[in-house]
Structure 1
Amino acid sequence: MSTTLEQAVVGRRVLFAYYRAPDTYLPGIITAIRDDAATLQVRLDGRRTTIPCPADYRGLRYLNEVVPVPELTMGRFRPTAKDFGGAWEGVPVCRMEEDDIVILAAVPSAARGAAAAYLREVCGDSDDVIREYLRWLTDRWVTFEWQREDAEYPWLMVSAAEGDEQALHIHYLPA
């Protein structure tokens, strides 16, 4: 067995570099080994998803430290701009896979401003198109729930009642 495969153990701390940024190493941990050690699952620090990679991947550096794999928090949470992928006009905005847009703002004027900035900067829409889109902006009460590490999406948005103590008042722009 090669030295690389001997080092490929669950809980080993690693440094990982993406092929497109080979000189930028990010710290992480091996969370699982698949296919008889042919494929590792690496979770980068501060992330919820794993990256599959071969044990002998050129962008993987094994560190000496082997520790228990930290459990991911599960269940409801309050998202941040980082969870959403960014903020516009100071408000977290997220485009869902179906192209619906979620704006983490309870105040309609803040939601409209953030949605307009997002549509202008990210989608390249004109002011006339944005005005038309904003007619469909609605408010909702929802919760956000972390999913397991191997889930298709790191979190889900679930409809909630206004009285739910963990519900957030958001604005929603359907595709």
Structure 2
Amino acid sequence: MPETVLPAEAVAGRRVEFAYYRDQDVYLPGIITAITDDPASLRVRLDGTRSNLACRADYEGIRYLDQVIPVPDLPMGRFHPTVRDFDGTLYAGIPVCEFEDEDIVLLTPDPTTARAALAAYLDDHGMDPEYHRHHPDCLELRWVVFEWQPEDAECPWLMTFGTGGADMAVQIHYLPA
């Protein structure tokens, strides 16, 4: 296999624009975070994301920009989640996340809004809200903290129960499995 020759522009810290193959006309801003010696030699982190994409330096969907800056550290620690952190889907205007163990988190302290979001979520997933496990009366108002994990972790963030006085604590509605 011929060795891939990197263009001079392919350096860590170079600002780029990246287009997914299926959306070739939509370019997203990002930065080269690393150069590797495998065939997909660039690691690119798109702005506002926490994970790297692997691509070849000659990929037709990458544009090298002039600016080279230090690679920003990956955000770590506690944070306030957004709809993007909950996979980008809103139900009745509220971010909802279901974990692998089937616990459901609704990112709102308001019980009426939480019930509406739960009903929309269950309807969208074909689940019966009258089934005891999904009954709106089972929603619990809880204080939690969200914390970013390292990039190679099993999941991007963890949620732990806390108290109202905890640093970066938010109130959510929680439906245990």
Using structure 2 for the length normalisation, give the TM-score.
0.82
Q: Could you tell me how far apart the structure 2 residues matched to 1:99 and 1:14 are?
A: 38
Instruction: Report the counterpart of residue 19 of structure 1 in structure 2.
Output: 21
Instruction: Report the counterpart of residue 129 of structure 2 in structure 1.
Output: 130
Q: Could you tell me how far apart the structure 1 residues matched to 2:173 and 2:79 are?
A: 17
Q: Percent identity?
A: 56
Tell me by how many angstroms 1:112 deviates: 1.4
Matched, 1:158 2:160: yes
Matched, 1:40 2:42: yes
Q: How many residues align?
A: 171
Tell me by how many angstroms 1:83 deviates: 2.1
Matched, 1:86 2:98: no
Mapped contact 1:50–1:150 kept (Cα < 8 A): no
Tell me by how many angstroms 1:20 deviates: 2.0
Instruction: Report the counterpart of residue 50 of structure 1 in structure 2.
Output: 52
Mapped contact 2:4–2:39 kept (Cα < 8 A): no
Tell me by how many angstroms 1:131 deviates: 2.4
Mapped contact 1:105–1:170 kept (Cα < 8 A): yes
Deviates more, 1:68-77 or 1:150-159: 150-159
Residues 144 and 36 (structure 1 numbering): CA distance in 2 closer, same or farther, change over 3 Å? Answer: same
Matched, 1:117 2:116: no
Deviations 1:86-131 (A, max 9, x none): 322222212334443210122332211111111213x133xxx122
Instruction: Report the counterpart of residue 146 of structure 2 in structure 1.
Output: 144
Q: Could you tell me how far apart the structure 1 residues matched to 2:44 and 2:154 are?
A: 16
Deviations 1:35-63 (A, max 9, x none): 26742110111112111112222222222
Q: Could you tell me how far apart the structure 2 residues matched to 1:72 and 1:57 are?
A: 24
Q: Could you tell me how far apart the structure 1 residues matched to 2:41 and 2:103 are?
A: 35
Q: Could you tell me how far apart the structure 2 residues matched to 1:2 and 1:41 are?
A: 15
Which ranges of structure 1 fall in alignment gaps of 5 or more residues? Answer: none
- 1:83 alignment partner, SS class: helix
- 1:118 alignment partner, SS class: helix
Deviations 1:4-33 (A, max 9, x none): 433211001111111221221111100111
Instruction: Report the counterpart of residue 77 of structure 1 in structure 2.
Output: 79
Q: Could you tell me how far apart the structure 2 residues matched to 1:7 and 1:99 are?
A: 46
* Equivalent in 104, 107, 110 of residue 107 of structure 2: 104
Tell me by how many angstroms 1:162 deviates: 4.2
Amino acid at match of 1:110: T
